[in-house]
Amino acid sequence: MSGDKAFIQVKDLKKYFNVGRKATLKAVDGVNFNIKKGETLGLVGESGCGKTTCGRTVMGLYEASGGEVLFDGTNVHKLKGKAKKDFTKRAQIIFQDPYASLNPRMTVSDIIAAGIDIHRLYSGRDRINRVYELLNIVGLNKEHADRFPHEFSGGQRQRIGIARALAMEPDFIVCDEPISALDVSIQAQVVNLLIKLQKELGLTYLFIAHDLSMVRHISDRVGVMYLGKMAEITKSTKLYENPLHPYTKALLSAIPVPEPTVSRGKKRIKLEGEVPSPINPKPGCRFASRCKYVKDICYRETPKLKEIEKDHYVACHLY
């Protein structure tokens, strides 16, 4: 799957949670994707589809239940000692709720410099100068360094979270719904900042979101997850112009269109049926209970992710 020069390779990744006697929650169940250096892969899907668990397992924050994640050729879940420490510097995460992820009792400078201190990257005057530099990079200024998180707006807090991630001089950042908690007017500012930083610093992103409209602006390719499985993955332009999986079509039809003339001609696909539980899921396609194209085979066989056209992968028995 677009394997040439992949920087991140996710192969048959599984993350299961035991949730009671003989009950297993299959949050991520055999997911495959690659990300090239300097690329952004958007990962989208409804709440509970496993995208956040996937991102955290890629980061090594969760042990994998199966499969592997290769970061620059090395298995993330087998790292030890110095190699593990290097990875925790090179791979960073930005969280959804900037307020919850910032310690309210720490000043902004100590929050941003926490990783710098652990990895002993700078000390003394160089340390505070580096904090000022990072504040400047994310559009804040040095007067903000001695303030506390509650003194900032949601958008500014997310900028602090980004500065904290950049402090480690990473190559790769998992952006875990970084704009979901922000006002719509602020979302574009944060996305534009991430795009600018990527260009300047050559960063690679896994950008997780449930909102397909904003993902389009930042992603080179987009993967759509449904109940722990990858339903479709392709270039961003292709996904929005020619979605093939019935679930992707429904998600895209729900995006509001600003122009009323376009909006009138656009038909919203309403998803019918129950969302199945990811606990002990039934065999077959996980989308079967909500799909209007469902066939007998869909209840029996789990569709495999297949390349339908160049760089366009779909898991559906219609193709």
Region near ligand SF4 per CB under 6 A, out of 54-62, 121-129, 186-194, 295-303: 295-303
313 binds ligand SF4 (CB under 6 A): no
DSSP-derived 3-state class of residue 221: strand
**Using rule CB under 6 A, residue 317 touches ligand SF4:** yes
116/315 with CB nearer ligand SF4: 315
CB nearer to ligand SF4: give 98 or 228.
Answer: 228
Between residue 227 and residue 266, which ones bind ligand SF4 under the rule CB under 6 A? Answer: 246
Q: Shortest gap between Cβ of 12 and ligand SF4 (angstroms)?
A: 19
Cα of 157 vs its chain's centroid, Å = 19
Q: Which residues pair with 172 in a beta bridge?
A: 91, 204
Q: Which residues of 249-261 are buried (b: 16+ CB within 10 A; e: fewer)?
A: ebbbeeeeeeeee
What the block records as the tokens of 246 is: 């019935």
For ligand SF4, the closer CB: 171 or 232: 232
Question: CB neighbours of 68 closer than 8 A, spacing ≥ 6?
Answer: 9, 10, 11, 12, 13, 75, 76, 77
The one segment of 45-53, 125-133, 134-142, 289-297 that binds ligand SF4 by CB under 6 A: 289-297
Least distance to ligand SF4, CB of residue 276, Å: 11
> By CB under 6 A, what part of segment 94-153 binds ligand SF4?
none
Q: Examine residue 298 and tell whether it contacts ligand SF4 (CB under 6 A).
A: yes
Residues 145-204 that bind ligand SF4 (CB under 6 A): none
Is residue 27 helix, strand or coil?
A: strand
Residue 300 contacts ligand SF4 per CB under 6 A:
no
Query: Nearest distance from residue 268's CB to ligand SF4, in Å?
Result: 18
Of 5-13, 156-164, 259-267, 283-291, the window that binds ligand SF4 (rule: CB under 6 A) is: 283-291
Residue 239 dihedral angles phi and psi, to the nearest 5°:
-60, -40
Of 201, 234, 196, nearest in space to 33 by CA: 234
One-letter amino acid at 159 equals: R
Q: Crossing angle of helices 154-166/108-118, nearest 10°?
A: 20
Which range of residues in 16-24, 202-210, 262-270, 290-298 is near ligand SF4 by CB under 6 A? 290-298
The torsion region of residue 169 among left (phi > 0), alpha (psi -120 to 50) and beta comes to left
- Give strand pairing partners of 16: 26
Could you say which of 118, 192, 293, 309 contacts ligand SF4 (CB under 6 A)?
293
Specify the residue for token string 């199945």: 276
Asked if residue 287 binds ligand SF4 (CB under 6 A), the reply is: yes
Q: Does 318 bind ligand SF4 (CB under 6 A)?
A: yes
What residues line the site for ligand SF4 (CB under 6 A)?
246, 285, 287-288, 291, 293-295, 298, 303, 316-318
